Amino acid sequence: MGEAQPTQFQRHGTALFSPEEEQRIAHAIQTAETSTSGEIVAVIATESDSYLYAPFLWAALFALLVPWPLIYFTWWPVQWIYLIQLLVFLVLLLLFLPQGMRLMLVPRTVQRDRAHRRAVEQFLVQNLHTTTGRTGVLIFVSVAERYAEVLADVGIDAKVPAGTWQAIVDDLTRKIGEGRAADGFVAAITAAGAHLERHFPPGMADPNELPNHLIVLD
């Protein structure tokens, strides 16, 4: 797994990739899988968690502190203090709700844990654990958390040297940081395909079990 600092995507409208870039990534998967019986799935998520609890939590904590100095250092009526407390809570909540602020309120360790959990979830949802020979490889990126990970099933993972997947992640995150996310995905797919080809060449009956396009999660 790895973390891109910073993660930069050249957005095309509301999309993370242009249709041409998505086509390039799909072609890279198709090309890699023609030389192996293994399966590659590429997934990108805009975020792995909404973290909506964070603005409410922090706004409530700050609001709880508001009455104490007012109680001890003023003679204001309790009704006024309560209204000020409520106002502070609402103002802070509005300030903390945008995604950028939400992420600032959540520790990096929590963000990485959520992103890793989403990667594992996608490994199962995309049925990579059911491939013939246990040769599935997931290339996963979560944009908001600046997180990337390669998950490989036991069949292929047991045959490659330690650090193989991390090297692919490092190159992927470097290219993402340079604003070349599509190039990063294509390179990661090609590298994963080369390892699969070396250990799991195509068989006589080699069904294409999983989708060959980039899967984009909101």
Q: How far apart are CA 160 and CA 166, in angstroms?
A: 12
Q: Provide the percentage of residues in the chain whose pLDDT is more than 90.
A: 74
pLDDT digits (tens, 9 = 90+) for 52-61: 999 999 999 9
Q: How far apart are CA 165 and CA 203, in angstroms?
A: 24
The more confident residue out of 131 and 2 is: 131
In the predicted model, is pLDDT for residue 156 greater than 50?
Answer: yes
Give me the residues paired with residue 42 across strands. 139
Task: Say whether both 123 and 199 belong to one domain.
Answer: yes
User: Which pLDDT score is estimated for 2?
Assistant: 40
Q: How far apart are CA 21 and CA 99, in angstroms?
A: 26
Domain boundary among 79, 105, 131: 105
User: Which pLDDT score is estimated for 71?
Assistant: 87
Give me the residues paired with residue 43 across strands. 140, 215
pLDDT band at 203 (very low <50, low <70, confident <90, very high): confident
Q: What are residue 17's phi and psi, to 5 degrees?
A: -130, 150
Total of domains in the chain? 2
Torsion of CA 100, 102, 107, 108, to 10 degrees: -40
Token pair in block for residue 59: 């706004």
Task: Say whether both 82 and 144 belong to one domain.
Answer: no
Q: How far apart are CA 17 and CA 31, in angstroms?
A: 20
Task: Say whether both 65 and 96 belong to one domain.
Answer: yes
> What CATH number has the domain bearing residue 213?
3.10.310.50
* 34, 61, 86, 108 from 57: Cα distances, Å: 50, 6, 14, 17
In the predicted model, is pLDDT for residue 201 greater than 80?
Answer: yes
Nearest to 135 by CA among 167, 160, 104: 160
Task: Say whether both 140 and 207 belong to one domain.
Answer: yes
Q: How far apart are CA 126 and CA 10, in angstroms?
A: 26
pLDDT digits (tens, 9 = 90+) for 121-136: 999 999 898 888 899 9
Task: Say whether both 168 and 138 belong to one domain.
Answer: yes
Question: For residue 34, what are the domain limits?
Answer: 2-49+107-217
What average pLDDT does the segment 9-25 reach?
Answer: 76
Task: Say whether both 59 and 161 belong to one domain.
Answer: no
Token pair in block for residue 44: 């990108």
In the predicted model, is pLDDT for residue 26 greater than 60?
Answer: yes
What average pLDDT does the segment 141-155 reach?
Answer: 94
User: Which pLDDT score is estimated for 10?
Assistant: 58
pLDDT band at 51 (very low <50, low <70, confident <90, very high): very high
User: Which pLDDT score is estimated for 16?
Assistant: 79
User: Which pLDDT score is estimated for 208?
Assistant: 62
Task: Say whether both 25 and 59 belong to one domain.
Answer: no
Residue 58, Cβ neighbours under 10 Å: how many?
19
